Amino acid sequence: MEMTPKKRALLCLTGNKWKADRVTAFDPLTTATVDQMMAVKAPFPDAHRDPELMAKLAAAAWEVIGLEGFKIPFDLCIQAEALGAEIHYGALDIHPSVRKPAFKELEEFKLPEGILDRGRFPVVEGAVEKLREKYGDYLPISRQVVGPFTIAGHIFGVEKFCGWIKRRDPEELREVLFQLADLNVEEARAALRAGADVICIADPTASSDIISPQTFKELMVPTYQRLCSRVSAPVVLHICGNATSYLPYLPDTGIDTFSCDAQVDIAFAKQVLGNRVAVAGNVPTVSVLLQGNPETVKKACIECIAKGTDMLIPSCGIPPRTPTENFRILPQVASCMVYV
């Protein structure tokens, strides 16, 4: 009997790849492309605001591309929006972005009661329910929570928040990051109740281009610890850019899988992390998936598997203009790699 994609994905992302029949092509990062929006008539920006369209577009990852599961929502602004930041919803091929931060000073922020009733949280959980209803237990659902550092950048402004790292008492910053981690816990619990299987922390701004490994260790490791220890489901963490210098600290965060961007060498990451944290990635999104062709994608996929990836997925959220013929190669290669 063939293993269900959900069981395979859960084995791979908890570091039990060898108990699965092969590596998974379940992508817990953003999967939506313009081709899929057209195919299922669920375009951006409407799909960000309507649970029916959101579920339809998420399902296109499986229906159109063949990826072995679903990921919602598609954008990084839901938390900041619910906290009062002004959002621009983008366009067909442009993701939403923050137009105006919510707060000027650190002291102005306090996590409000009933935050999950605000903004688009009900839309997201509604979409999770619809996917679970339609696909039962066959395919896994990844619910993305935007990580505490990225939310902080959105609600205070990235430059301002980074300036505070240098000037202010680390305790004050930790207090705010912990409250944002608590928001993540609240939304993760709601998503799990609605039917999600996996929580994916997308914290692109916590990149080594922006903060030092020391800051990562002192501020972010305890923040992720607080988050992971309160979520009773596998957790994937994605950080953009070259996170090589963070690798030694990742086992302390409590995450199950680290999703590597293209600058991280998967073989090296596996060497550092051993069997403590699984590694996902990292077919380059721009140079290979967006600008390459099916042959170059296939080559990159085989290289990732050879280097020991636990999940064959893109290096980051997929660029909206990625051609379907390229994106489809990931699940095709994964399904050919059955262990013998």
Binding site for Zn ion (CB under 5 A): 240, 261, 316
The residue type at 258: F
Tell me the chain's radius of gyration from C-alpha atoms: 19
Closer CB to Zn ion, residue 25 or residue 76?
Answer: 76
Minimal distance, residue 261 CB to Zn ion, in Å: 5
Closer CB to Zn ion, residue 223 or residue 285?
Answer: 285
Minimal distance, residue 106 CB to Zn ion, in Å: 27
Closer CB to Zn ion, residue 55 or residue 330?
Answer: 330
Q: What stretches of the chain adopt beta strand conformation (E)?
A: 70-72, 86-88, 97-100, 141-146, 198-202, 235-238, 257-259, 278-283, 311-314
Minimal distance, residue 201 CB to Zn ion, in Å: 12
Closer CB to Zn ion, residue 68 or residue 261?
Answer: 261
Minimal distance, residue 240 CB to Zn ion, in Å: 3
Is 171 buried (19+), middle (13-18) or exposed (0-12) by CB count in 10 A?
exposed
Closer CB to Zn ion, residue 256 or residue 261?
Answer: 261
Minimal distance, residue 216 CB to Zn ion, in Å: 16
DSSP state of 178: H
Closer CB to Zn ion, residue 180 or residue 264?
Answer: 264
Minimal distance, residue 316 CB to Zn ion, in Å: 3
Tokens at residue 53, please? 């369209």
Report the C-alpha gap between 138 and 130 in whole angstroms. Answer: 14
Is 2 buried (19+), middle (13-18) or exposed (0-12) by CB count in 10 A?
exposed
Minimal distance, residue 241 CB to Zn ion, in Å: 7
Q: Dihedral sign, CA of 304, 309, 315, 321? A: positive
DSSP 36-102: HHHHHT--TTGGGT-HHHHHHHHHHIIIII--SSEEE---S-HHHHHTT-EEE--BTTB--EEEE-S
Closer CB to Zn ion, residue 241 or residue 294?
Answer: 241
Tokens at residue 92, please? 């067909």
End-to-end CA distance of the chain: 15
